[in-house]
Structure 1
Amino acid sequence: MSNSSNLSVESDGLTPEQRLEPLNTRLINAGIATIHDMETLRACVAYENANQNRTHILRRLEWKARELREDKE
């Protein structure tokens, strides 16, 4: 496995690429829904910005960030 941050395995065993690259939108949504920490979220945002830069995916990640912040409060 590469040492590159965009390929690092996150806490639940999925890389940002595995979360955001499936062809099935439901799998992408599930990948985002299973993000439970800001570190993983940031890695996914960085991956998306560097590779696909899809606004609808970045928007979903932004919503997830809000959810994580609200859960912390």
Structure 2
Amino acid sequence: MSDSSNLSVESDGLTPEQRLEPPNTRLINAGIATIHDMETLRACVAYENANQGRVQILRRLEQRASEIRSQDD
């Protein structure tokens, strides 16, 4: 198994695509809210940058990163 596949799926089994491509924003927000580690968050940012580049989603991911960092303190 390659390292990239390990980075793309969190323990709950959701890929960045599954988190960021639902049909409505409430599901996208829920997908982002359930990110609990920086590894998964980075994979989601990379996916968003490579595929959609939606500023609102990237800002929400940035906000979630700040929340994760503050929990680690």
TM over 0.5: same fold? yes
Unaligned runs of 5+ in 1: none
Q: Is 1:47 the equivalent of 2:56?
A: no
Unaligned runs of 5+ in 2: none
Which residue is equivalent to 1:65? 65
Instruction: For residues 1-59 of structure 1, give each alpha carbon's deviation from its aligned partner in whole angstroms, at most 9, with x where no partner exists.
Output: xx694793222110000000011100000000000000000000000000000000000
The one-letter amino acid paired with 1:64 is R
Which residue is equivalent to 2:10? 10
Do the aligned partners of 1:20 and 1:28 also contact (CA within 8 Å) in 2? yes
- Structure with bigger helix share is 2
CA deviation after TM superposition for structure 1 residue 64, in Å: 0.2
Secondary structure (helix, strand or coil) at the match of 2:68 reads: helix
Do the aligned partners of 1:9 and 1:15 also contact (CA within 8 Å) in 2? yes
The root-mean-square deviation of aligned C-alpha atoms, in Å, is 1.8
Identity fraction in percent: 79
CA distance in 2, matches of 1:8, 1:46: 10
The one-letter amino acid paired with 2:53 is N
Do the aligned partners of 2:8 and 2:40 also contact (CA within 8 Å) in 1? no
Secondary structure (helix, strand or coil) at the match of 2:11 reads: coil
Output the TM-score relative to the length of structure 1.
0.89
The one-letter amino acid paired with 1:14 is L
The alignment covers a number of residue pairs equal to 71
